């Protein structure tokens, strides 16, 4: 079993949380085993929780006009492990995407409103929230930069540099979708590297 407070202290030492703050967070954190293909966030519903994927993999997507999944992001431990739709949260709108588990996954999560209710007694939790939102914003900028590149080769190389683990954990069809490249083009270009 994973000790959540130890994980938070090791993975996010820059949050600089006190023992009391971690204890309060632990009281509001739920740990859950999600099954393969189960949704963490469903398109058309508000983003009410933030999760930390501790074991397993997930990805975000929406459905295009042809009924196909269009991959928007990948989630896995020790890199991009925060399950959250910051856009939905910041704009206070229903989510425009789904977050689905690719395999059985162990997740720690909390309901955002529960933490907001603690701001008066624990104002540093607002700072924690802003750090999480900032991290999500940085991921979005990185994705935007990748997608603005011209060639498939450039996109693949940048993703390999920024998120090499994605190539080990996710099907190439998902990676091609994420990069906005047809899967046959992806396979051809990737095979040349």
What integer pLDDT is reported at residue 192 of this predicted model?
80
What integer pLDDT is reported at residue 149 of this predicted model?
65
What integer pLDDT is reported at residue 5 of this predicted model?
72
| Neighbour-count burial for 16-28, b at 16+ CB within 10 Å, e otherwise | ebeeebbebbeee
Please give the backbone phi and psi of residue 31, each rounded to the nearest 5 degrees, phi first: -110, 140
- Measure the CA–CA gap between 46 and 88, rounded to whole angstroms: 7
How many other β-carbons are positioned within 10 Å of the β-carbon of residue 161? 9
Q: By the 8 A CB rule, do 135 and 127 touch?
A: no
Strand order across the beta sheet in which 98-101 lies: 39-41, 98-101, 58-63, 69-75
Q: By the 8 A CB rule, do 133 and 90 touch?
A: yes
Token readout for 187 is: 């396979």
Residue pLDDT, tens place only, 114-131: 988 988 898 888 877 777
Measure Cα distances from 65 to 21, 72, 153 in Å. 45, 16, 27
Which portions of the chain are predicted below pLDDT 70? 1-2, 146-147, 149
Residue pLDDT, tens place only, 33-48: 999 999 999 999 999 9
Residue pLDDT, tens place only, 163-178: 899 999 999 999 999 9
Q: What is the CA radius of gyration of the chain?
A: 17
What integer pLDDT is reported at residue 33 of this predicted model?
96
- Partner residues linked to 110 by β-bridges: 50
- Measure the CA–CA gap between 167 and 107, rounded to whole angstroms: 22
């Amino acid at each position: 079993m994973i000790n959540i407070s130890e994980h938070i202290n090791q993975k996010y030492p820059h949050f600089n949380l006190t023992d009391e703050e971690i204890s309060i967070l632990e009281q509001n954190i739920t740990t859950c085993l999600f099954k393969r293909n189960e949704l963490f966030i469903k398109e058309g519903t508000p983003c009410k929780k933030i999760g930390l994927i501790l074991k397993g993999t997930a990805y975000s997507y929406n459905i295009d006009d042809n009924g196909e999944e269009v991959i928007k992001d990948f989630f896995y431990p020790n890199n991009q492990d925060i399950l959250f739709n910051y856009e939905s949260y910041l704009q206070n709108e229903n989510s425009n995407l789904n977050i689905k588990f690719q395999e059985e996954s162990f997740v720690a999560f909390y309901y955002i409103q529960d933490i907001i209710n603690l701001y008066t007694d624990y104002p540093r939790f607002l700072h924690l929230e802003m750090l999480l939102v900032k991290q999500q914003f940085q991921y979005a900028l990185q994705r935007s930069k990748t997608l603005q590149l011209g060639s498939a080769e450039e996109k693949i190389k940048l993703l390999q540099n920024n998120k090499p683990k994605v190539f080990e954990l996710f099907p190439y069809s998902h990676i091609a979708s994420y990069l906005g490249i047809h899967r046959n083009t992806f396979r051809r270009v990737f095979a040349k590297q």
